[in-house]
Structure 1
């Protein structure tokens, strides 16, 4: 009973230490999280493999598309950090964010949000209808995730599914940089979504285990309301569910569109395994996705996956067609 009362008690914001400077406002955009846009690259590769790319055009569309994605992601980060400042005050490390410790002017914060959003959408508009529509969806997802009354991040399971919606959005952005006349298969978009859900659920598992062990479950629930409904067991089970769904959907995609990608499957499974192993480590980097590349094991597995993925993209292997061909061996009855 006391723990529940503690979890629902209003958070007392920290007293800002000083007035904000330009660098403090810029920090809200989290430009150091640019590494997350690596999830755009598979979309580019898939579009080259399944679509009709124009190599000369890519020299313009890819850099411009990445710049647009960075701007829109930064606008989402700005609104995320600003609206979360009172909740972040309860987090062991996020309580050191500038939005918590520095006095920032709301008008300037919202102006920064609007500036990144407008610049990102203007660039997106120049890249075509599909890229622009996907960019709008990218921006709207940030609003649904962070802004009341919906604020999906406060709702169990929906918080994971909404946050990782950025995964298929990024894949679609990469695709739209190359191919503008058709959309990628739904199966690969859904598989990418479920893979992202696995990553986010593992991140929640890390946070739950580490923070509840040091500061208590009540503090954890004050930091993020969805944790009031989670347990270590439910988060771990959800990781397995998302991983299984992703594997199934990837199987549907590779059988229908490019059976050569079956060679990538063991490496993707290895990536899932390494990430889950990282999630079980105390103080895991899985809690801070922008630092994932500091893990040598994950770097090696990711590099191997990329190499095999590119190989399976450019090399046709007709001998693998039997995998997608129905075959029921007959049995000769005994005399």
Structure 2
């Protein structure tokens, strides 16, 4: 889980013993900003597993409802982690030129309020999760535990931090499956796992390259990585990702009634991975969502890939 900088707030750091600046309304808005609602887009991964079964189930509404519940529950639980992360890093953020404007570091949201809000978000997420499945609640609890371990120290451990950040995306995919009681393919899990690791390693590589080129300040854990090691990680990840997807595509061909479209989907998928690797190799993969929004060719390849899967299962 990678906390993103909140919108800039022209406020001064909180002084111990002084009430939060701006009053209750500003505090509530600060809690909301720290909850990172724009990051909830990551949770669309919960719809990945349901996508492949909607065409074969008689309970479309039920599957979609369970997926929506998983999306809401995961969003709430993830927000609780963002709140705790910023509360833990408050002193370091106050010394940072831009992070000092985050609501907690700026004194808009007191640290104690952040912790209370985190508990509320987590409890709400667990409560929503129970509406779908007890297994979903277990996934949410494991996600929270792993991410808290990351916040409280594992983010400073090389390799472990890569695995934990990548596992967040994997758990989102698993959450959608368990919420709707869908059997998850081993290839689906491998594609999600190594796709996540590929993007995380690429992001770290971009940050290291930026440091080497400009001397820009980077997180302390990155100083333990070399650019060549991160290239090694994302190269292996991309190779396993492509291999796993190709094997999964042949499995999908059988489940799609022998349609050739799942096999055809390998073409835009592989080309898209290689296209994304160009950005990684150039040290421009700092934010995957920015690459997706900026690279028109990558957008076309993504649309073609999704189109082949839609044809496979729904046409």
Same fold per superposition (TM over 0.5) = yes
Q: Distance in 1 between matches of 2:300 and 2:94?
A: 36
Matched residue, 1:243: 238
User: Which one has a bigger Cα radius of gyration?
Assistant: 1
Cα separation, partners in 2 of 1:17 and 1:90, compared to 1, 3 Å: closer
Secondary structure at the counterpart of residue 130 of structure 2: helix
Residue 174 of structure 2 is aligned to residue 172 of structure 1? yes
Matched residue, 2:286: 287
Q: Distance in 1 between matches of 2:54 and 2:144?
A: 26
Cα separation, partners in 2 of 1:53 and 1:175, compared to 1, 3 Å: farther
Farther off after superposition, 206-215 or 229-238: 206-215
Residue 142 of structure 1 deviates from its aligned partner by: 1.4
Of the three residues 126, 135, 138, the one matched with 1:133 is 138
Secondary structure at the counterpart of residue 100 of structure 1: coil
Residue 90 of structure 1 deviates from its aligned partner by: 6.8
Matched residue, 2:248: 253
Matched residue, 1:55: 60
Contact map agreement 1:72 1:117 (CA 8 A) in 2? yes
Of the three residues 64, 67, 75, the one matched with 2:72 is 67
TM-score, normalised relative to structure 2: 0.80
Residue 199 of structure 1 deviates from its aligned partner by: 0.4
Alignment of 1:29-178 (within 5 A): 29-48=35-54, 52=57, 54-88=59-93, 93-94=98-99, 96-102=101-107, 104-147=109-152, 151-178=153-180
Matched residue, 2:5: none
Matched residue, 1:278: 279
Deviations 1:263-298 (A, max 9, x none): 22222223322322333556x4x3234545432423
Farther off after superposition, 84-93 or 35-44: 84-93
Farther off after superposition, 84-93 or 30-39: 84-93
Contact map agreement 1:47 1:53 (CA 8 A) in 2? no
Q: Which structure has more RCO (C-alpha within 8 Å, separation ≥ 6)?
A: 1
Structure 1: tracts of 5 or more residues without a match: 1-14, 316-335
Contact map agreement 1:81 1:99 (CA 8 A) in 2? yes
Residue 272 of structure 2 is aligned to residue 267 of structure 1? no
Alignment RMSD (CA, Å): 2.8
Structure 2: tracts of 5 or more residues without a match: 1-11, 22-26, 255-259
Q: Distance in 2 between matches of 1:186 and 1:157?
A: 23
Q: Distance in 1 between matches of 2:307 and 2:98?
A: 36
Cα separation, partners in 2 of 1:265 and 1:117, compared to 1, 3 Å: same
Matched residue, 2:7: none
Contact map agreement 1:87 1:224 (CA 8 A) in 2? no
Residue 233 of structure 2 is aligned to residue 232 of structure 1? no
TM-score, normalised relative to structure 1: 0.76
Secondary structure at the counterpart of residue 184 of structure 1: coil
Cα separation, partners in 2 of 1:59 and 1:245, compared to 1, 3 Å: closer
Contact map agreement 1:36 1:290 (CA 8 A) in 2? no
Contact map agreement 2:33 2:103 (CA 8 A) in 1? yes
Residue 133 of structure 1 deviates from its aligned partner by: 2.1
Residue 182 of structure 2 is aligned to residue 187 of structure 1? no
Contact map agreement 2:249 2:266 (CA 8 A) in 1? no
Cα separation, partners in 2 of 1:258 and 1:309, compared to 1, 3 Å: same
Alignment of 1:213-228 (within 5 A): 213-215=213-215, 219-220=217-218, 223-225=219-221, 227-228=222-223
Cα separation, partners in 2 of 1:252 and 1:130, compared to 1, 3 Å: farther
Q: Distance in 1 between matches of 2:89 and 2:276?
A: 26
Paired residues in the alignment total: 289
Q: Distance in 1 between matches of 2:289 and 2:122?
A: 21
Residue 213 of structure 1 deviates from its aligned partner by: 2.5
